[in-house]
Structure 1
Amino acid sequence: MLHALFVGYLRWVAIGVALGIWLLAACTSSGPATAPAPSPTQLVHQHVAHNLDTLLWHVEHQLLPLAQRTPVPTDSLRQRFRACRLLYKRVEPFTEYFMPGTARLLNGPPIGEIEVAENKQFDPAGLQVIEEHLYPEVDPSQQSELVREVKKLRQELRRAQTVWQVLEFTDAHVFDVLRQQVFRVVALGITGFDTPLTPDAALPEAATAVAALRPVLAYYAPTDTSAAAARTRYAAAQQALTQAERYLRQGVGFAEFDRMAFITGYTNPLGRALLACQRGLGIAPFQEVRALRPDAATLFDSAAFNPDFYAPTAAQYRTAARVALGRRLFHDPVLSRSNTRSCASCHQPAKAFTDGLAKNVTLTETGLVHRNTPTILNAALQAGQFYDLRATTLENQAVDVVGNRDEMHGSLESAARDLQRQPAYVQLFLGAFPEDPAGRINPVQIQTALASYERSLVALNSRFDQYVRGRRAALNAQEIQGFNLFMGKAKCGTCHFAPLFNGTVPPGFTKTESEVLGVPATPAAQRLDPDLGRYAHTQLEQLRHAFKTPTVRNVARTAPYMHNGAYRTLEQVITFYNEGGGRGLGLTVENQTLSDEKLHLTTAEQQAIQAFLLALTDTPLH
């Protein structure tokens, strides 16, 4: 313990000595040999290294000894555990950004990570796993497992230290980290995403996460000789950080916290202030293609998302000509073997691109298709397609649907030959794909055109969106209450992540999650729906009955609900979750990932959540 303290002390003494030498040299040197001042990135690097050292010391010399003590000192252990979580929030922005794999093992969900391509599940680890050993009760028979998890945490922190020592980054990276952490607090922190068993810790940890950004930003403080605009923008950003932290620390409980006021009054202005500060310092945001644009000031900006990020290659990005061609193909039955069914036959624009049925009929009308027809509005903003996530892109999805014998029973090769015989289509393909002047229509072009059209169907201008962008008359009090419940007490926002309200995880939006909910075959049935979900194509037991978390945007027009269309009303859906999913209803669902604890939502609260969901409607463009 003394050794670790001494090492940490020496590190900061060294930093202080280095700064002192530089200041002395700057004041006394008359020649060009003056030592350069540490750059902001160097100071940030040292700052994060110190915080990692501190966290590791607390885990190794405080948390671990308490976990090993017999009998287990429950109160002291919990207190030290919570202290370690607060310390982690100081390094979280950087571990999540630069070391996402390690971050998952430091504070990831307590559910195994699935690697479908490798047909493997990797055990969870980190603070959330340790939390399960400490809450709601400490089981003495599991003490050895608790100790093992704390030691794993220690090992991952050592690995993070090693990686951090050699990591290099730029000023643009630092500001990217700052804004992404603000987005993480909004979408995950205030929902209790990483404090599932201790919701009372969510707001203090979110406050610490925000407060931890202030000293990082301070390394970029303009000097007295800097431009006035730069100084003003920096001061505004620091003030916004202080105000956001203060709002989180006002002493309101988790269930009562006004998340809408926090977002509109504090984090949206904070995101804008950080971006303005960055630009005022002459540090340009990145220009790379991401799901969430690198220059997005808030999660709720009207143009915050770029669906082209999910295209397989840059050669398949949207163009106006490709979107127009894709729209025409979408409505043309030429893609089906019988020339009687188009994509729009089931994905009807007037019904938010659904069909209003629990399950549609097969192409031959001799039965029903396997699952409910989902909306394709905002389907482009997902890292996986279909309820079972078997397609990674919209392009792959097109191949599957066209070739499915129950849906279209055709082939893109056959469709390409048919389209080649139509001069009007040949000209449209030439306009959409000028790189092939011979005009040879091929399956990849059809896939690209259809996907381009679907990527144009991004609808993020509901009354909710208008409200968070400043039009305060867009929502009423009940709808605002519903949003606060959705993101808080009802726990909806821990799976349907803001602002897309689907399972694509912010702030990176590179992974779309699935859940095992235990949906019954029918509302009245006391048996689980037999659909195996992701298990059918992965054969991973953990994914038995697992389905993608879809968006709840436009649910006013997409009934019936769930993968099997079991529930015809939103009231039924909300009741299902309020009861704790299938297991809460008494069904046998051994691997249910949804908590089976009842939410205890009042009738008024359930009505408020429904009102909020109805405010997510945005289909007028289509």
Structure 2
Amino acid sequence: MRCFSNTWLGPRAVVALGAAAVAACVVGGGSVAAASRPADTTPVDAAIRQWVRYPSTPGHLSAQAELGKRLFFDTTLSASKRMSCASCHSPAHAYGPPNGRAVQLGGPHLDRAGTRAVPSLRYLDHTPLFSLDAFTPGSEDAEYEGPRGGFTRDGRAASRQQQAAIPLLDRNEMANAGPQAVVAAVRDGPHAAAFRQVFGADVFAHPAQAFADVGEALAAFQREDPSFHPYTSKFDAVMSGHAGFTAQELRGYALFNDPRKGNCASCHIDVPGPGGRPVPFTDFAYAALGVPRNPSIPANRDPHHVDLGLCGPYRRDLQEQARYCGMFKTPTLRNVATRRVFFHNGAFRSLTDVVAFYVQRDTEPGKWYPRAHGKVIPYDDLPPRYRGNVDRTDAPMDRGKGAMPALDTREIADVVAFLRTLDDGYSATAGGPATHPDTNAVRGATTAP
């Protein structure tokens, strides 16, 4: 039975009607064919042979984006000559990491550990410019004001082009000595002729501009290639009337929106954006969540090492703004179930534990934080002077120790079931996610952190 066709059933309708009433409309809806992608018949260099899941249609990308695609998979752009952008942003894993490490290894010998979990590069299209005082369109909180926008977990990059420059030069990632080293690698590499054709015959005579052009080519690839914004999740199919939620997914969807229960939609916006943009599942804003310190990150062996997000150590312009310390950007939840580690420091390895942390963080702090001298140390990854920045006013994080959590065990499972509908690659005809790596990745164990 289908109650709508090619129309969007909004989350407020789900909450208003209730799970039982809406279930009759959406459970067991119609089918949607898996997105078809033509085979790539164009020659490829050995450096990009892993490009198998999402080949672009010949002639679909601009010359600049085609060049960016080749650079994205080019290992010669790293000091080790063994690492490319795709090493950490695998297209087979929703452009996130292909493994379960909290942080990835890089550097000249691929033996240097990073300090933050690698985010996905999908669904960055409508990221606004960074602002300290911004209203979030579509947010349930019409009075919201605060930091918003920018690229990377601390918003320090103003564009995809600037974002691309960061790993190229970071000593823990591709580890080039400077922009000139990157330009020299392109000049002496397999794509030099294409680079000259796109950016000019004398491009390598101007290293600073050539380095910027590398970033622009990578940005063009991410803007133009459909694999960075496929919108092929079960959620998208349901909202267009071509599939239906299960009863459990529907319950999770209602909890996701309920402001007194999951309240997830207050930050992970699940309504279309301005001009009918597809649902982003983020407000691009920042929050301090008090995520536990992750001892598996080598840098954390130093008790003086702290990652304060907006106010350092990588972002330097807000270091004196104490009220922003501990804040990180809210990521999109699209493809969240393909992840194997969660939050900025990869402290969690289970999506179930992530949802449980939100609702039990303050009601059962001993479950999530270490003890010292017999006392639980909440928010232990932040220096004491910044722990007041942690959000304790918004549900489900508005309950004190010993209070009843906003979600019980069954409700947590229901929310997780809904979150799994946000993975790309859904095929109703196959009865679930398409059988390809980005939705068949390990979903995370149910062990405690």
Q: With structure 1 as the length reference, what TM-score do the two structures score? A: 0.45
Unaligned runs of 5+ in 1: 1-182, 191-246, 249-253, 266-317
In the alignment, structure 1 residue 533 sits paired with structure 2 residue 306: no
When residues 460 and 584 of structure 1 are mapped into structure 2, their CA distance, relative to the original with a 3 A threshold, is: farther
> 2:253, 2:350 → 1: CA distance?
19
Question: Match for 1:496 among 253, 258, 268?
Answer: 268
Aligned counterpart, 2:418: 612
Question: Match for 2:127 among 373, 376, 382?
Answer: 382
Alignment of 1:152-301 (within 5 A): 190=12, 257=18
> 1:394, 1:582 → 2: CA distance?
40
Residue deviations 1:456-477, cap 9 Å, x none? 311311011011011134x312
In the alignment, structure 1 residue 425 sits paired with structure 2 residue 191: yes
Unaligned runs of 5+ in 2: 1-7, 27-59, 129-149, 367-375, 380-386, 400-404, 426-435, 439-449
Amino acid at match of 1:566: A
Q: Is the 8 A contact 2:65 2:220 kept in 1?
A: yes
When residues 481 and 522 of structure 1 are mapped into structure 2, their CA distance, relative to the original with a 3 A threshold, is: same
Q: How many residues align?
A: 316
Shift of 1:395: 0.8
In the alignment, structure 1 residue 354 sits paired with structure 2 residue 96: yes
Shift of 1:569: 0.4
Moved more, 454-463 or 539-548: 454-463
In the alignment, structure 1 residue 465 sits paired with structure 2 residue 236: yes
Residue deviations 1:385-424, cap 9 Å, x none? 22111112111111222111111121343222332244x5
SS of 1:559's equivalent in the other structure is: coil
Amino acid at match of 1:360: Q
SS of 1:535's equivalent in the other structure is: coil
> 1:326, 1:543 → 2: CA distance?
35
In the alignment, structure 1 residue 403 sits paired with structure 2 residue 173: no
> 2:282, 2:328 → 1: CA distance?
17
Shift of 1:336: 1.4
Q: Is the 8 A contact 2:269 2:280 kept in 1?
A: no
Question: What's the C-alpha RMSD, in Å, of the aligned pairs?
Answer: 3.9
Aligned counterpart, 1:301: none
In the alignment, structure 1 residue 578 sits paired with structure 2 residue 344: no
> 2:192, 2:124 → 1: CA distance?
28
When residues 510 and 375 of structure 1 are mapped into structure 2, their CA distance, relative to the original with a 3 A threshold, is: closer
> 1:348, 1:615 → 2: CA distance?
21
Moved more, 441-450 or 529-538: 529-538
Q: Is the 8 A contact 1:576 1:582 kept in 2?
A: no
Question: Match for 1:561 among 295, 319, 342?
Answer: 342
Alignment of 1:474-485 (within 5 A): 475-485=245-255
Shift of 1:591: 1.1
Which has the higher Rg, Structure 1 or Structure 2?
1
When residues 417 and 260 of structure 1 are mapped into structure 2, their CA distance, relative to the original with a 3 A threshold, is: farther
Moved more, 595-604 or 482-491: 595-604
Amino acid at match of 1:543: Y
Amino acid at match of 1:401: P
In the alignment, structure 1 residue 601 sits paired with structure 2 residue 407: yes
Question: Match for 1:521 among 293, 299, 302?
Answer: 293
> 1:396, 1:260 → 2: CA distance?
48
> 2:194, 2:154 → 1: CA distance?
34
> 1:528, 1:476 → 2: CA distance?
48
Q: Is the 8 A contact 1:337 1:409 kept in 2?
A: yes
**Structure with bigger RCO (C-alpha 8 Å, 6+ apart):** 2
Q: Is the 8 A contact 1:528 1:582 kept in 2?
A: no
> 1:260, 1:459 → 2: CA distance?
31
Aligned counterpart, 2:82: 340
Question: Match for 2:219 among 451, 474, 478?
Answer: 451
Alignment of 1:82-93 (within 5 A): none
Q: Is the 8 A contact 2:272 2:278 kept in 1?
A: no
Amino acid at match of 1:353: Y
Q: Is the 8 A contact 2:335 2:422 kept in 1?
A: yes
Amino acid at match of 1:413: Q
Shift of 1:551: 1.4
Q: Is the 8 A contact 1:258 1:484 kept in 2?
A: yes
When residues 319 and 350 of structure 1 are mapped into structure 2, their CA distance, relative to the original with a 3 A threshold, is: closer
Q: Which runs of 4+ in 1 moved over 6 A?
A: 505-511
In the alignment, structure 1 residue 394 sits paired with structure 2 residue 139: no
Shift of 1:523: 9.6
Aligned counterpart, 2:131: none
Q: Is the 8 A contact 1:481 1:609 kept in 2?
A: yes
**Higher relative helix content:** 1
Amino acid at match of 2:398: E
Residue deviations 1:290-317, cap 9 Å, x none? xxxxxxxxxxxxxxxxxxxxxxxxxxxx
> 1:322, 1:332 → 2: CA distance?
15
SS of 1:590's equivalent in the other structure is: helix
Q: Is the 8 A contact 2:310 2:328 kept in 1?
A: yes
Q: Is the 8 A contact 1:534 1:544 kept in 2?
A: yes
When residues 342 and 547 of structure 1 are mapped into structure 2, their CA distance, relative to the original with a 3 A threshold, is: same
Aligned counterpart, 1:133: none
Residue deviations 1:178-208, cap 9 Å, x none? xxxxx9x968xx4xxxxxxxxxxxxxxxxxx
